[in-house]
């Protein structure tokens, strides 16, 4: 009986110590334009490689979350990506004019030939623009 009371007391303490307090911070996900890309010198089949992506952080309320695949044409080795950031809805956000940043993009080529990577660069007259990086894949050694 004492064990049941001790267990019940333990559960009450544990459950009451959990805080579900939400600070009511609202955010949304936005696309961040890529301003440049630095491909590797050489790429081999089935080995990971890295493309260094450049971007400008628009404000102190933008936080990079990752790189999302928009579309893939695996037959022709054409892949389209966008850089995604969370944008926190706060009153104290400051615009950043020249906060240049980099993020690595890693990929493994599983077929020979030329791979085309398209990275979202912004929108002009309602049309998405993309920076294209072509990378030949070395087969064999």
Three-state DSSP state, 98: coil
pLDDT at 3: 56
Q: Which helix (H) or strand (E) holds 14?
A: helix 2-17
pTM, entire model = 0.79
pLDDT at 71: 97
Torsion region of 113: left, alpha or beta (phi above 0 gives left; psi -120 to 50 gives alpha): left
Does the CA dihedral 58-106-131-100 come out positive or negative? positive
Three-state DSSP state, 29: strand
Domains of the chain, CATH where assigned: 25-137 (2.60.40)
pLDDT at 138: 85
Q: Which two tokens stand for residue 56?
A: 């400008």
pLDDT by residue, tens only, the chain of 141 residues: 555 555 555 545 555 555 555 566 799 999 999 999 999 998 999 999 999 999 999 999 999 999 999 999 999 999 999 999 999 999 999 999 899 999 999 999 999 999 999 999 999 999 999 999 999 998 875
pLDDT at 141: 55
């Amino acid at each position: 009986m004492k064990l049941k009371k001790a267990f019940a007391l333990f559960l009450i303490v544990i459950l009451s110590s959990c805080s579900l307090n939400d600070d009511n911070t609202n955010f949304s996900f936005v696309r961040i334009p890529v301003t440049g890309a630095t491909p590797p010198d050489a790429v081999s089949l089935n080995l990971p490689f890295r493309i260094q992506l450049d971007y400008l952080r628009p404000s102190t309320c933008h936080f990079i979350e990752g790189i999302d695949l928009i579309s893939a044409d695996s037959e022709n080795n054409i892949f389209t990506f966008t850089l995604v950031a969370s944008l926190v809805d706060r009153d104290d956000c400051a615009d950043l004019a020249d906060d240049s940043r980099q993020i690595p993009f890693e990929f493994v080529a599983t077929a020979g030939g030329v791979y085309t990577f398209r990275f979202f660069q912004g929108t002009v007259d309602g049309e998405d623009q993309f920076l294209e990086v072509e990378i030949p894949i070395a087969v064999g050694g």
